[in-house]
Structure 1
Amino acid sequence: MAAGEPEDSGGYCFRFLPQKTFRCLSAPETASRLRQWSMLGRVAAQAFGFDQTFQAHRRDDFLTAFFKDPNVIPNLKLLSDSSGQWITLGAEVKKIEATNVPCTQLSMSFFNRLYDEDIVRANGHIIKCLDSFCDSFPISDELRKVLLVEDSEKYEVFSQPDREEFLFCLFKHLCLGGALCQYEDVLHPYLETTKLLYKDLVSVRKNPQTKKIQITSSVFKVMAYDSNGVCYPSTKSHEQTFSYFIVDPIKRHVHVLYHCYGVGEMS
Structure 2
Amino acid sequence: MAGEKCAFEQTYSFNHLPSKKPSFLQDRDFLKLLMKWSMLGRISAQSYSFDQCFYPYNSETFALCFFRDPNVVSSLRKMEAGAWVPLDKPVVSVDVEPVQCTKVSMELFDPIYSCGIVRPSGHVVKCFHDLYPDYDELRQMLQEVDSEHHYAVGKEERGEFLFRLFKHLCVGGELCQYEDTIEPYISTTKQIYKDLISVQKDPETKKISVVSTVLKVCAYDESGPCYPQRREEEQTFAYVIVDPFKRHMTLFYHGYGVGNFTL
TM-score by length of 1: 0.93
Q: Cα offset for 1:7?
A: 6.0
Equivalent positions of 1:252-267 (< 5 A) are 252-267=247-262
SS at match of 2:189: helix
In structure 2, how many angstroms separate the alpha carbons of the residues matched to 1:139 and 1:62? Answer: 43
Aligned residues: 257
Partner of 1:122: 120
Q: 2:145 aligns with which of 145, 150, 172?
A: 150
* Separation of aligned partners in 2, 1:259 and 1:138: 26
Amino acid at match of 2:115: E
- SS of the residue aligned with 1:234? coil
Q: Distance in 1 between matches of 2:58 and 2:154?
A: 29
1:107 alignment partner in structure 2: 105
1:69 aligns to 2:69 (yes or no)? yes
> What is aligned with 1:19?
19
Q: Deviations over 1:63-92 (max 9, x none)?
A: 1111111110011121124xx211222420
Is 1:8–1:65's contact at 8 Å kept on the other side of the alignment? no
Structure 1 spans left out of the alignment, 5+ residues: 1-5
Identity %, equivalent residues = 46
Distance 2:95 2:133 in 1: 30
Deviation for aligned residue 1:166:
0.1
Q: How has the CA–CA distance of structure 1 residues 139 and 149 changed in structure 2, closer, same or farther, with 3 Å as cutoff? A: farther
Per the alignment, in what secondary structure is the counterpart of residue 70 of structure 2? coil
Over residues 95-140 of structure 1, what are the superposed CA-to-partner deviations in whole Å (9 max), with x where a residue is unaligned?
A: 100101000111112111111111101111001101334xxx7771
Q: TM-score, normalised by structure 2?
A: 0.94
1:195-227 CA-to-partner distances (Å, cap 9, x unmatched) read 000000000011234221110000000000000
Q: Are the counterparts in 1 of residues 126 and 134 from structure 2 also a CA contact under 8 Å?
A: no
1:220 pairs with 2:218? no
Q: Which amino acid aligns with 2:257?
A: G
How far apart in 2 are the matches of 1:108 and 1:169? 13
